Structure 1
């Protein structure tokens, strides 16, 4: 019975039973084609060469350094400029046809951005004009430095909520507005510094420690929290809690049920929320009608503002946005807290906000790049996002990043390059200069409805169900982040998400899987007997595969795990009157690396097996592993004749000896 399975393919399943079938030694095919091949020691590298290889792989895994080789100085200078300013690369191929597409996309996302910006300013507890400033300045900087063609830049719900919840713990946004705004600019500055530093020093891999599962839970929890916060504007409540946890929010809501709710506000909010959700449903069912989703917030703002204006609803308790300052950004360099206790506060808030903004933007950029089959450079994205936030902090902007909803609209509208962000900036400039006075009568209820309809998509129930099916630990991480955000705070939920992600990594690193292998009849292939029921054990030989690199954190566990397998197998053999174990073969093919603790653990394992009159053999060690085995002289202990190219070779060499009395 043959199996066409690649020799380097392996599974990672554990084992719960030792009841697989046994077969006599003569039933196992020998690896005659490979017999005689020996495990060769790789050519030894110089120490600095090894360090350089590790360094390049860690910090420059995607950098196209080869393009600089054998080039004249002028060409190298041009390539260097393109590496810093990607616009110089794609800008040379820009044409009128692409501009037409970008113009349509830019106008489309602008119609969505204006009402969303005003709404997200409320989440950050910032005056509305600062959100409009943000969507004017930061997209221009990103266009010059960014590598994504589809991402749309501006304030986003999750980051705005996080920023607002952290800032209001330091200053009251109403009674201490000046200091609150200054601290927001300071946090934005340090968010940009954090992002740019991660990109400049090629440390973007740190962002990957926030797992997908934790991000799903964090985003869903943030969405629930954002919607709960909108109950203030949706119900017309004037006195509302500053806390974000669900218990405090619902207590505040029901405490005001008799005297704080305004029925006119509720009618406006509920009516337009239904309208927005119906438009969203139509656009989701038929992609041709995506423009209905795009323009529905703007239509809602126009209609609700006109209704409030002609009915004077603001005189009957309907809260409105009020005056929005006209004109473009003013310099805010002098407003940054660069000394005193507020410096540390701004740094802490900025680092947290910057990392979350970074995770969201890179995830969005990579998702849309995959659809169009182009590459987004993660480190350049970090530098672009960091630079735009640094500049933004000096021009009256707060933290901005890539927006999923606007990026999706940008993509659906047919954008070709990030010039659509320039079009967005131009429209925001005209808005700030010409029509901000018209925003005075926008009811807060419509902004709440826009936010609620926008963040519902952040609750990905299907992803949570998939996490439960695939990995229970991932699901626990997801739920930990979710409940942390909902019942405590956004930053606590984020901390729980990171801690659970690290705990999972530590568990996997310190407790690697070891599995028992058997032979697939009629082949020279050895596979996990739990996965392949037809796999048979070799009498007198125990074959174990270690499914992890072996380091100080898990080396003792690996050695103990192999000895446990041996003990359990010997007990089974005694009960069945089968030959005792004479050889232990360790399949090292999945072991990518080993350190001194790992080699020391194998030395202890070898000594423990010697006491039991059991021989140790290693199969298919990788180049770095075999080099370290030789360097440590462990090969002299175990014997070079105990190193084999494949498991089949090891079995072929040991079976005749097993048969001896």
Structure 2
């Protein structure tokens, strides 16, 4: 999000704050219009690819803080190269503290997972010990940061500092004021309309990318912790956060994988955790910023690494190989592209998933059986990309038969059709009629039947079952056989159930 904002805000704070306000308004509008269903197109393989890649990139992004290196680029591949090239510049103090914090966090997490519950019948000392151990394991992130800060403060008192510290943090919040709807420049003023034109597609890219990343993170942790999310609620929350933040000179925000992982690992279970975190942040900015100076970056890096590493799901590759190998395509595309940029990986995965989905719609399963009378059974509904495929299959099988045959199209599994499908069926009826081949429909659902009757297809015949259609298929279009369901001789109302007529 920071890179996107720097691209579309031209490194200008005024543009960034205005972009925050407009992005929030767009997200609020999408939430109020209940457009969250668009996010249902983010499939599980895309989520798994994103979380696995993000756990690697975020973890490696913190390695430089563990080693005490500076000036490492953000781009993942350059980051790997520069970190390995400059590993000889490692600061021993940062490395020792960072590795010690990692080992402590791993030990406390393992201790909590293996801690047996204390029964009420246990002695008081046993229950008290259990409570102490459980509290320390649950609050391990805070304890590690606090301990590391004390170590750094002790070094500071002795006049030497082998650790890289967080440093000075400004006190308080920026003043509350309206977002800049214009910008003063040396030779005049840039009006609101010009600022919007300058940001261009950023007004669409920034809110959408922020939303996609937020929902991807939310879905990842929802599946891990067994709860459901409401995308419209996420839209409203993000929109409100951005609009309100713009009054305090914020730039566009989105969900944070690292911070969410830390919350999950700490044991936060409800949105009330946000209230606690927000209150502590406000109090800290007001009174404790001077103490944050002593927090070592290596300790913070250890907390983040410890939180995101468990999100790497190596087993998903093996699972998809067994369940459906085609789903490995969006998974791998998302996984690899996320090493370039996270938002590009998510978009690429969604596009690949969409292409696979559209292909399954354009090529529905078709079962063709029989010799003299061909029974064609589509396995799903027919939509406009599939009609040409259906026509090709029927015509190729019918015209390759040694003598003209009859065809029955079993529509039991077809729940909806569109106008392109109706037009294609009309052309199919006409083409088959030229070759003396009859086409009958059976098992039509009410909605599909109404659409075909309304189109008034020439030679359209339909039957309640394929057995009856087979018995009457010898009559052919316009023949003298039984045709109680021939649309040319039976009114539409007589074909529909009584409830539909009412």
| Superposition TM-score, scaled by structure 1 size | 0.60
In 2: Cα distance, 1:500 partner to 1:433 partner: 48
- Determine helix, strand or coil for the equivalent of 1:637: coil
Shift of 1:323: 1.4
In the alignment, what sits opposite 2:147?
303
Corresponding residue for residue 330 of structure 1? 175
Partner of 1:278: 107
Alpha-carbon displacement from aligned partner over 1:92-113 (angstroms, at most 9, x marks no partner): xxxxxxxxxxxxxxxxxxxxxx
CA separation of 1:413 and 1:496: change in aligned 2, threshold 3 A: closer
Q: CA deviation at 1:356?
A: 2.3
Distance 1:466 1:197, change over 3 A: farther
Alpha-carbon spacing, 1:494–1:482, altered in 2? closer, same or farther (3 Å): same
- Counterpart of 1:395 in structure 2 is 248
Give runs of aligned pairs for residues 373-392 of structure 1, distance below 5 A: 377-392=230-245
Q: 2:352 aligns with which of 500, 515, 524?
A: 500
In structure 1, stretches of 5+ residues that fail to align are 1-162, 517-536, 575-579
Measure how far apart 1:292 and its partner are: 4.8
Q: Residues 586, 250 of structure 1: CA spacing in aligned structure 2 closer, same or farther, 3 A cutoff?
A: same
Cα distance in 2, alignment partners of residues 350 and 331 from structure 1: 23
Cα distance in 2 for residues equivalent to 1:363 and 1:286 = 29
Kept after mapping to 2: 8 A contact 1:214/1:478: yes
2:48 touches 2:331 (CA, 8 Å); kept in 1?
yes
Name the CA shift for 1:364/1:484 in 2 (closer, same or farther; >3 Å).
Answer: closer
Alignment match of 1:604 (pick from 427, 446, 453): 427
Conserved 8 A contact 1:220-1:460: yes
Matches for 1:578-597 after TM superposition, within 5 Å? 582-597=405-420
Alignment of 1:202 onto 2:34: yes
Identify the residue that residue 347 of structure 1 maps to in structure 2: 203
The Cα RMSD (Å) is 3.6
* TM-superposed deviation, 1:607: 3.4
Shift of 1:499: 2.3
Cα deviations across residues 474-500 of structure 1 (Å, max 9, x unaligned)? 2111111111121x2223323322321
- Offset, 1:653: 4.4
Q: Which residue, out of 157, 165, 168, partners 1:320?
A: 165
Partner of 2:79: 249
> Is the CA contact (8 Å cut-off) linking 1:183 and 1:346 kept in structure 2?
no
Q: Is the 8 A contact 1:167 1:184 kept in 2?
A: yes
For residue 621 of structure 1, what is the aligned residue in structure 2? Answer: 444
Contact 1:186 1:347 in 2 (8 A): no
CA gap of 1:414–1:649, structure 2 versus 1, over 3 A, is same
> 2:486 aligns to what?
none
Partner residue of 1:437 out of 273, 285, 290: 290
CA drift of 1:270 comes to 1.2
SS of aligned partner of 1:561: helix
Shift in alpha-carbon separation, 1:239–1:421, aligned structure 2, 3 A: closer
Provide the TM-score with structure 2 as the length reference: 0.77
- In 2, Cα distance between the equivalents of 1:200 and 1:595? 29
Q: Which runs of 5+ in 2 are unaligned?
A: 118-132, 184-191, 482-502
TM-fit CA distance, 1:317: 5.0
Deviation for aligned residue 1:396: 4.4
**Residue 554 (structure 1) aligned to one of 366, 370, 386:** 386
**SS of corresponding position for 1:230:** helix
**For residue 452 of structure 1, what is the aligned residue in structure 2?**
305
Name the SS for the 1:591 alignment partner.
coil
Q: Does the 8 Å contact 2:17/2:180 carry over to 1? A: yes
Q: CA deviation at 1:266?
A: 0.9
CA distance in 2, matches of 1:624, 1:359: 35
